[in-house]
Structure 1
Amino acid sequence: MTVVPLRSRGGGAAGAGPRPPHAPGPGHVPLATLRALDLAVGTRVEDLWPGERRSPAVGAGTELAMVRPYEIGDDVRHLEPSATARTGEPHVRVHVAERALTTWLAVDGSASMRFGTADRRKADVAEGVALAVGHLATRRGNRLGVMTVGVADAGVRPPRQGRGGLLAALALARREPEADGSAGVSLAVGLRRVGALARRPGLIVVVSDFREGPQGEAAGEPVAAWAHALKRLAARHAVLAVEVRDPREQELPAVGAVDFVDPESGRTLRVDTSSRALRERFAQAAARERAALAGAIRETGADHLLVSTQGEWLRPLATFLGRRPLPARGQASGAPRVAGRPLGKAAPPVRPSRPSTSGEAT
């Protein structure tokens, strides 16, 4: 694996510099939109770093977990006056520990991400998603780790806070995808690598087109391979699968004879797109493939978001996270943060109504 520096090959900061015509980038990303969003995670967060997320452990925090009798070694500043006065025995308040959220961003760098026939390529959309997620995942002491998947030489940046984590995400996201026909590694292998690195429960965001290359086909069950790896991740973490698609993957234009090249394998196929029957069969097959893919992701327990190379990619991402209309461009949001619906299974809330003398809050 290669550790990617925080500065781009051109010497400037990651994410800066001129764009070549074939790689237009993600386009305009309004800062006001990013400020209005947040990553709301339903699973309890386990980490060693203090933060604002709920942990399954007890410790320093603002949310009451229980009131129990005083034990030797307890902090006397946590004495509960009401329970102590009512029972005649010292009682202390125990809070839910608050920890920082560690997010791992897995960006697909396989050859199929070079494809794009609309406003931008899949890789450009993936870069934009990495920018947005990186901005959200490095605020308020939270940490972001980044890794490229689907490539033989996977770049890895360990979790970092603040600007360092964001620049790492941009540096990896701006790497050009593999060349057409290059021999990378399967998506399943990349996801297993992410699982080995993300040891504590947190959030994992996978940005890919979920199209296996010849390596997955040789294994016999390409979809089942990466789906099994994704399911293992979702069993321990909150997982968001961001699928990037291009309109031409759903329907063919009537432009006559066209040579199609599989970017993953390099194979070429000539197709006469003037045939209406062929275009209809292609659209039907693409719809079935999309439904099967959505079903496979749903069965893993991960959240699924579809973004396109055509039009605005940020709007569906922001709507998914914020569940509210976006502010207009150039218009600041009135709320500093809008927590979207939780990603993953939400933990049951602890809502004590009054101190309990039996050791648990009721």
Structure 2
Amino acid sequence: MTAEELLKKVRLIEFKSKRKINSLFLGEYHSSFKGVGMTFSEVRQYQYGDDVRKIDWNKTARFNEPFVKIFEEEREMISMILIDISASMNFGTRKQFKNDTVAEISATLAFSAIKNNDKVGLILYSDKIESFIPPKKGNSHVVRMIKEILETEPKPAQTNLNLVFDFLLKTIKRKSNIFLISDFDIPNFERSLSIVTKKHDITGIRVYDDIEKIFPNIGLVKFKDLETGKIQWINTSSSKIREEYSKYYAMLVTRVENTFTKNGAGFLNIPTQGDYIKVLFNYFKGHH
């Protein structure tokens, strides 16, 4: 991709993302992810039903009647977008490649965050941390993130989520909204996920292509594992092989989803050819 083509693609994704973030979507995003702290706002006279723990005893003693402290939620949050850039993410057969869908989803989440006056940051990972952009505000910051996502070449390596979670805990100290994007064809990561969910709010976003669910009947085909480089021939005309693959795939998806829900984390499945805005909207609506 030339510099000109890259810029054109970045601008297109920026335009599409901003157009899709309507007031309804932003409202759902805002109410889904509330601030984590409370700031002192004012003192007023006690009213029936007020929490007695909030009584301002100094003012109460001075005026000989009860007063309470009023607090407001700190609205500003941090959102971190963590993206798997291992080679399996560079795959697609219908509408577009997984990594194109990932760039659009990330841009939508990032622009929603800054519209909400939140900071947003980015981590690109494979078997190591490939790129880290610390959380900031601003349109130009999000454009830089999109450019980084599109510019980074997929890595022929297996994903190491344990390393990513360790880096996240060391780097982002304040409780944040974490969007973890991958196809989750990943070895066991449940233990490290359970540690991170105690500190941050996590949503797993699984991006997949429909062809991955069901092998098409196209005869004897040579397959190359994009992450390991291993090559093998598979007879796709065998109904038994296709059936076994479908069972394995369904089991893999269920296992990943259960890993997230068991640890109190959110989980979404988004196909490359689907309407990701509708999936995100429904998720935020149910996340209140």
Other-structure match for 1:249:
212
Residue matched to 1:341: 287
Distance 1:191 1:244 in 2: 19
Q: Does 1:69 align with 2:56?
A: yes
Residue 142 in 1 paired to residue 105 in 2?
no
* Bigger Rg over Cα: 1
1:221-271 Cα offsets, whole Å, 9 max, x none, are x22xx2222222211111111011111211111111111111110111111
Structure 2 residue corresponding to 1:262, chosen from 225, 241, 244: 225
Q: Where does residue 283 of structure 1 map in the other structure?
A: 246
AA in 1 matched with 2:88: S
State the TM-score, normalizing by the size of structure 1.
Answer: 0.68
Number of equivalences: 279
Q: Which runs of 5+ in 2 are unaligned?
A: 44-49
| 1-structure distance, mates of 2:212, 2:55 | 60
- Alignment root-mean-square deviation, CA: 3.3
Query: Is the 8 Å Cα contact of residues 135 and 166 (structure 1) preserved in structure 2?
Result: yes
Q: Provide the rounded CA distance (Å) in 1 between the counterparts of 2:106 and 2:229.
A: 27
Amino acid at match of 1:268: I
Partner of 1:37: 25
Aligned to 2:176: 202
Amino acid at match of 2:204: A
Q: Whole-Å Cα distance in 1 between the matches of residues 54 and 246 of structure 2?
A: 61
How much does 1:131 deviate?
Answer: 0.7
Q: Residue 41 of structure 2 contacts residue 69 of structure 2 at CA under 8 Å; is this kept in 1?
A: no
1:43 deviates by 7.3
Identity %, equivalent residues: 19
Instruction: Tell me the amino acid that sits aligned with residue 56 of structure 2.
Output: P
TM-aligned CA distance change 1:114 to 1:43, over 3 Å: closer
How do residues 143-182 of structure 1 correspond to structure 2 at under 5 angstroms?
143-152=119-128, 154-179=130-155, 182=156
Query: What displacement does 1:312 show?
Result: 2.3
Any conservation in 2 of the 1:40–1:341 contact (CA below 8 Å)? no
Taking the aligned partners of 2:126 and 2:204, their CA distance within structure 1 comes to 15
Name the residue aligned to 1:347: none
Check if 1:235 corresponds to 2:223. Answer: no
TM-score by length of 2: 0.83
1 or 2, which has the higher helix percentage? 2
Query: Counterparts of 2:30 and 2:8 in 1: how far apart (Å)?
Result: 33
Contact 1:25-1:125 at 8 Å conserved across structures:
no
In the TM superposition, what whole-angstrom CA distance separates every residue of 1:176-203 from its partner, at most 9, and x where no partner exists? Answer: 4424xx2465122122212221111121
One-letter amino acid of the counterpart of residue 275, structure 1: S
What is the alpha-carbon distance in structure 2 between the residues aligned to residue 37 and residue 29 of structure 1? 12
Greater relative contact order (Cα 8 A, min sep 6): structure 1 or 2?
1
Provide the secondary structure at the position in 2 that maps to 1:244: strand
